[in-house]
Structure 1
Amino acid sequence: MKQILLINDVVGYGKVGMGAMLPILSYLGIPTYSLPTALVSNTLDYGKFNIQDTTDYIRGTLPVWKELGFGFDAICTGLMFSDEQAKLVAGYCKEQGEQGTTVFVDPILGDGGRLYNGMTERQVELMREMVSVAHLCFPNYTEACYLTNTPIKMEGISWEEAGDLLDELRKIGTKSALITSCKVDGRNAVVGYNHYDDSYFHLEYHEIPGLFHGTGDIFSAVLIGHLLNGESLKTSTRTAMDTVFRMIERYKDTDDKNRGIPVEKCLDLL
């Protein structure tokens, strides 16, 4: 039974970050551990929020874990909040990766052609640091463009441009890559590159209008859960896409979308 460490923010009000991922991974039978990068009062689109950076905690925790001999089959990283934090986490991931741990990186930065509220160009640089040690990263289209300094074309890109964007991510250091929320040759798609068989692929999907917080975290958790259970990257990606669609479909009429999807009420959709 494979174990995973989540390195991400903990949000007090909102089913995002670890709050969205933990129930899914646990349901899929993956023992899950956590290292918070920050304590966040609520999702940022409420306009007001409080963030407590946990870099000091991480600095003190990693040596203790090393001394105790703790190890993980996989690590998934999310939001980073400072230079030191990113360097600590990237260094730990690189060290663990050399010992056989699979490193997943969700470079959380923005969507819809812009950075999220509170994100800066410095966060983009920190995420490049994380992508450089990844076995698999899965930015959305906006994040992939920011990471690679590629002009954003919200009207859509060609399949050739999608392949070039995947290759630019690989140049940063990641071995495999997915790009979600793309419009490729006029169709909504997730595009990917799998380094195990040197293959490119794209999977189309139907988009439900509206912005739902936490869907990226749901996608990540389902994707990783199925990968750790032995499924291929392409198959796991399709499963994650379909699961997110079903969860959004169930709660698309909810009043407060900033709060995210109540994951615990959707486990039957897994």
Structure 2
Amino acid sequence: MEPLTVTRGKGPIVLAMPHSGMWVPPVIWARLNERGRRLADTDWHLDRLYEGLVPDATIIRANFHRYVIDTNRDPSGKSLYPGQNTTGLCPITDFDGRAIYQEGMEPDASEIEGRRRAYHGSYHAAVADELERVRKEHSIAVLYDCHSIRSHIPFLFDGTLPDFNVGTNGGVTCDVLFERAVTSVCAAADGYTSVLNGRFKGGWTTRHYGRPEQGIHAVQMELAQSTHLEAESPPFAYSRTKADRLRPYLASVLETLAAQARTLAKEA
């Protein structure tokens, strides 16, 4: 299994999908416990949800599961949300705080470093290369980091998560025009809730690459999985009815970002 799939487009939008892959190397799979093998923390069906929504987008998809290594975490292991419950670079618990490895089978520091080089490093090398390619072609690149999560996880946050969770790390990872473009579409989406820089302010990817002064703008979109799954429990089935209602709003977000990128590129 190739660790990632890159589909090159000609437009200014780069879609990153770090958590939709489900492949776990056999040597790791054998050490997961029953709970870990559920892979419950997958960003379910995002490739299908976003398919064809914006023409000429570049798509970078990690094929390995986040339990192998989380490519949206700081490679140093530093927490992105100090003082809050979260999962680590190579998670040993799931989003409910429960162990995912058989007792004594967790990865040690040496193994984590090996995974970092093999998976985290290769994924981010591709992201960096594609962003630079797009920026050179258009004088601007917009990284849209695609995520989803269960809407109710007491270990991670109180209450029910809004449907659209937009993260720009407090407005520093993109020009304010991009932030407004996304939030305006989400706020106007009939029957959906949204928040800007709430519980999810943007992970390592958004924070690392978002350099608007250098022509690279980054936005994270964390969708509540209730927006496109039949149920937020096994088998985590895709709901075509829900997705068909959601997809036009996601398309509008991406089309608005692309249009804004073209406008700024002309002004540069």
TM class, shorter-chain normalised?
0.3 to 0.5
- Greater per-residue strand proportion: 1
- Greater per-residue helix proportion: 1
Of the two structures, which has the highest relative contact order with CA contacts closer than 8 Å and spacing of 6 or more? 2
Q: If the length of structure 1 is used for normalisation, what is the TM-score? A: 0.34
